[in-house]
Structure 1
């Protein structure tokens, strides 16, 4: 488990002080993948460095498995860090060492015997699917394979916590998907707590259980992925699942956006909504999927002009949030509305 409490990191003094992290609070439970997202310069990398105490926090605490790392001496911290594995944006492999030799590096530093090291390295390379690449050098491996070697090395000392700092950045979609699946398997098999720092929203949706958005050193929103996706007021939820272009609405209809708000939405909700409104409904676009074992989704509809409150109430009864969308710029309804505004 990782516990972050009132974590603050500043640089400089007096009038020249720069606050990079400002009073962060969150917890990553055992067996949980917790993502932190945010724009460049938000403080994501500094957060990763503070969690493993490569950077000492200015104030606040970092607790890993009940041990407050912020209070440890340098000697104690070197021991505590063995329980924290870190996966970096660049794989960080030594070009003159084979995959097996790179994985063995932490074991060599601890003075593990050659026989024990060979067994552990073979076990780890098998776990990440690279047993046949043990003797390959980094330049002989793909980007995804190099990152798998980095993951194996991070697991060498049997950590209970993994920090992933932009580990999938720069990888192609297939490699990203394979790394995501590997991290989820490791979480399940080893009961790890994983702090997954990234700017890739699609990857968050694939890998994380919970997510927080970091802006200018502060967490502005956080929660379970599914809860955020079902919250019509969540800015983070909308950024995780942005709306895509939908078909144009037929003449005489209005566009409505509907989103799932809980798990009880019936599979035939579109048919039921049309029946409740006693009106035909056109489906212009939709995205419905399973996230963390639960169904989430949204759709864009074309509905004949009806009392908005009636549509909202009928949707709400089915577990949906319904909102009327403005007419697209240049469409007949939009031009008519603009003309009325000019007359007024």
Structure 2
């Protein structure tokens, strides 16, 4: 488990003082993948450097399994850092070393025996699906394979925490999906706490259990991924699953934006809604999928000739929330008058 308590990082002094991280508080439990997202300049890279103590926080604490790393001496910190494995955006492999030799680096540094190193490297390359690439050099590997070697190296010292700093950035969708599947498998098998720092919202949907948004050094919103996606008022939930363009409705239809709120929405809810209201339902757009075992998403519907209160009531009974786009109901003549 890893926890941040009032973590603050300040650069400079006086008029040149810049607060990059300001009192961050969050925890990542064992067996949890916690994603941190945010725009460029939000402080994500600084957060990664402070978590593995490549940079010392100005104040606050980084606790790993109850031990405050922020208070350790450099000698003590070198030992404690073994509990945190880091996967970087650039794989960081040495071009003149084979995949096996790159994975062996942390073990060589600690003075493991050749037999111990060979056994552990073999285990790790098998774990990441690259046993047949042990003798390959980085230039002979794909981007996804190089990142797998980086993951194997991060696991060499049996850490309890895995820090992924933009590890899938720049990979193609297929390689990204394979890395995500590998991280989830490692989380389950090794009971790791994984802090996944990224700007890729689609990847967060694939990998995260919980997510926080970092903006100008502050956590502005956080929560379980599924809860955020089911909360119609969540800015982070909308950013993770933005509303797409939809088909135009007929002139008699009102446009309704519907979001999944309940955990057990029936798959035939559109048919049930039409039967309850006694009118045809037009599906103008939708984005619905299963995430972490729960169906989440939203749909845009065209519904005409029904009291809005009946529509919201019927949808609520089905575990859905809805808002009516009043602008879509404005008469065409009014629009022409506005343009004139």
On whether the aligned pair clears a TM of 0.5, the verdict is yes
Report the Cα offset of residue 342 of structure 1: 7.8
The 3-state SS of whatever aligns with 1:232 is: coil
Answer whether contact 2:164 2:195 (CA < 8 A) is retained: yes
Q: Is 1:106 the equivalent of 2:103?
A: no
For residues 52 and 3 of structure 1, the distance between their equivalents in structure 2, rounded to whole angstroms, comes to 12
Task: Provide, for residues 154-180 of structure 1, a one-character-per-residue CA deviation record: whole Å limited to 9, x for no partner.
Answer: 000000000000000000000000000
For residues 297 and 37 of structure 2, the distance between their equivalents in structure 1, rounded to whole angstroms, comes to 21
Report the Cα offset of residue 317 of structure 1: 1.3
Report the Cα offset of residue 326 of structure 1: 5.0
Aligned counterpart, 2:28:
28
Report the Cα offset of residue 339 of structure 1: 4.3
Aligned counterpart, 1:337:
334
My pick for the range that moved more, 282-291 or 305-314, is 305-314
Aligned counterpart, 1:57:
57
Task: Provide, for residues 178-225 of structure 1, a one-character-per-residue CA deviation record: whole Å limited to 9, x for no partner.
Answer: 000000000000000000000000000000000000000000000001
Aligned counterpart, 1:206:
206
Aligned counterpart, 1:136:
136
My pick for the range that moved more, 263-272 or 213-222, is 263-272
Task: Provide, for residues 117-174 of structure 1, a one-character-per-residue CA deviation record: whole Å limited to 9, x for no partner.
Answer: 0000010000000010000000000000000000000000000000000000000000
For residues 326 and 230 of structure 1, the distance between their equivalents in structure 2, rounded to whole angstroms, comes to 23
Report the Cα offset of residue 280 of structure 1: 1.4
Aligned counterpart, 2:192:
192
Q: Is 1:7 the equivalent of 2:4?
A: no
Answer whether contact 1:160 1:191 (CA < 8 A) is retained: yes
Under a length normalisation based on structure 2, what TM-score does the superposition of the two structures give? Answer: 0.97
Answer whether contact 1:256 1:301 (CA < 8 A) is retained: yes
Runs of at least 5 residues in structure 2 that lack an aligned partner in the other structure: none
Answer whether contact 2:288 2:297 (CA < 8 A) is retained: yes
For residues 326 and 150 of structure 1, the distance between their equivalents in structure 2, rounded to whole angstroms, comes to 52
Aligned counterpart, 1:165:
165
Report the Cα offset of residue 305 of structure 1: 3.6
For residues 38 and 332 of structure 2, the distance between their equivalents in structure 1, rounded to whole angstroms, comes to 38
The 3-state SS of whatever aligns with 2:90 is: coil
The 3-state SS of whatever aligns with 2:103 is: helix
The 3-state SS of whatever aligns with 2:135 is: coil
Task: Provide, for residues 5-37 of structure 1, a one-character-per-residue CA deviation record: whole Å limited to 9, x for no partner.
Answer: 111000000111000001111010000000000
For residues 230 and 331 of structure 2, the distance between their equivalents in structure 1, rounded to whole angstroms, comes to 29
Answer whether contact 1:327 1:334 (CA < 8 A) is retained: no
Runs of at least 5 residues in structure 1 that lack an aligned partner in the other structure: none
The 3-state SS of whatever aligns with 2:39 is: coil
Under a length normalisation based on structure 1, what TM-score does the superposition of the two structures give? Answer: 0.96
For residues 47 and 219 of structure 1, the distance between their equivalents in structure 2, rounded to whole angstroms, comes to 11
Aligned counterpart, 1:124:
124
Aligned counterpart, 1:267:
267
Report how many aligned residue pairs link the two structures: 340
For residues 22 and 176 of structure 2, the distance between their equivalents in structure 1, rounded to whole angstroms, comes to 31
